[in-house]
């Protein structure tokens, strides 16, 4: 009797404490780094956080609703639902059925400046220090009142929602604020040209930024894994 092949599952192979190879089967692989941004979207809406995520994708016209700071060995840090957490990608995402996780590597505006492991360690350390701080629910509403949200909004209303100095106020965090502030505070990497603008930074601003490059996408569709990379198949 012939056995059906086991479905391939994603795995990590550590290069050092800063870099890992994420692979799916023998042919598909990508090098992921500590500090990489992971952008997330889930095609299923199963809980209140994903309802909020669906609203964010609608309002910001983005494929992604969530952003997190990747650490190492599947660990990551993110602002989610109620506060900033440290979680594990396997437990949190890879048991779902229709998720896309895209690793994005931020870079300096000056292409000559290479980001080193000390800088990315500082990114993760900044994010780690925010664990336990409350979630910034207000930011989700604020996306509606950005200049690219609802048009014809009175200035006072727009100002009301776009007047928090999220880069310096570390009392609460939205997912993309945490990612943006971690990279800015740790090594002055920006996702928009004016990071000091009080306009809330959205997952769309990060995913479409010219200051970051996609490394790979790990997709789950109906429970099957797929890894998209920039490498040619081996």
Partner 1 sequence: MPHFCDEWGPDACEIEIDSQKLDVLGDFFVVRGRVVNRLACTLPHLQLRMVMHYKDHDHPPMRQGIYHITDRALEPGESCPFKIEGEYDDGMHHVEIDVWPSDPTGGLHP
- Note the residues at the interface with partner 1 (CB under 8 A): 59-63, 144, 146-152, 191-194, 197, 199, 204-205, 208-211, 213-214, 217, 228-232
Q: How far is the CB of 110 from partner 1 (least distance, A)?
A: 14
Residue 193 parent element (H or E): none
Nearer to partner 1, 8 or 125 (CB): 8
Nearer to partner 1, 2 or 152 (CB): 152
Alpha-carbon distance of 64 to 56, in angstroms, equals 8
Both structure tokens of 37 = 């941004």
Q: Which residues of 59-77 are buried (b: 16+ CB within 10 A; e: fewer)?
A: bbebebbbbbbbbbebebb
Nearest Cα neighbor of 42 from 11, 12, 66, 74 is 66
Q: How far is the CB of 95 from partner 1 (least distance, A)?
A: 23
- The strand pairing partners of 30, in sequence order, are 22
Nearer to partner 1, 40 or 59 (CB): 59
Nearer to partner 1, 74 or 191 (CB): 191
Q: How far is the CB of 82 from partner 1 (least distance, A)?
A: 27
Contact at 8 Å (CB) between 170 and 181? yes
Q: How far is the CB of 203 from partner 1 (least distance, A)?
A: 10
Alpha-carbon distance of 103 to 220, in angstroms, equals 14
- The DSSP secondary-structure symbol of 170 reads -
Nearer to partner 1, 186 or 218 (CB): 218
Nearer to partner 1, 131 or 147 (CB): 147
Q: How far is the CB of 3 from partner 1 (least distance, A)?
A: 29
Kindly give, in sequence order, each residue whose CB lies less than 8 Å from that of residue 8, ignoring residues fewer than 6 positions away: 24, 25, 225
Q: How far is the CB of 193 from partner 1 (least distance, A)?
A: 5
């Amino acid at each position: 009797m012939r056995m059906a092949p086991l479905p391939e599952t994603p795995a990590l192979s550590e290069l050092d404490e800063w870099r890992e190879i994420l692979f799916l089967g023998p042919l598909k692989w990508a090098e992921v780094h500590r500090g990489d941004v992971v952008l997330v979207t889930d095609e299923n809406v199963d809980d209140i956080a994903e309802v909020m995520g669906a609203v964010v994708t609608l309002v910001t016209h983005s494929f992604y609703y969530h952003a997190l700071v990747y650490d190492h060995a599947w660990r990551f840090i993110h602002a989610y639902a109620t506060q900033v957490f440290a979680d594990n990608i396997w437990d949190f995402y890879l048991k779902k059925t229709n998720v896309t996780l895209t690793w994005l590597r931020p870079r300096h505006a000056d292409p000559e400046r290479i980001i080193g492991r000390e800088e990315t360690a500082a990114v993760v350390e900044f994010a780690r220090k925010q664990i336990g701080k409350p979630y910034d629910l207000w930011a989700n509403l604020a996306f509606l009142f950005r200049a690219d949200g609802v048009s014809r909004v009175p200035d006072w209303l727009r100002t009301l929602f776009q007047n928090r100095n999220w880069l310096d106020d570390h009392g609460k965090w939205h997912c993309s604020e945490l990612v943006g502030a971690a990279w800015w505070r740790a090594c002055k990497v920006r996702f928009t040209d004016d990071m000091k603008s009080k306009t809330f930074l959205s997952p769309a601003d990060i995913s479409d930024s010219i200051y970051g490059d996609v490394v790979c996408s790990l997709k789950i569709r109906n429970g099957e894994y797929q890894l998209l990379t920039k490498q040619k198949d081996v």
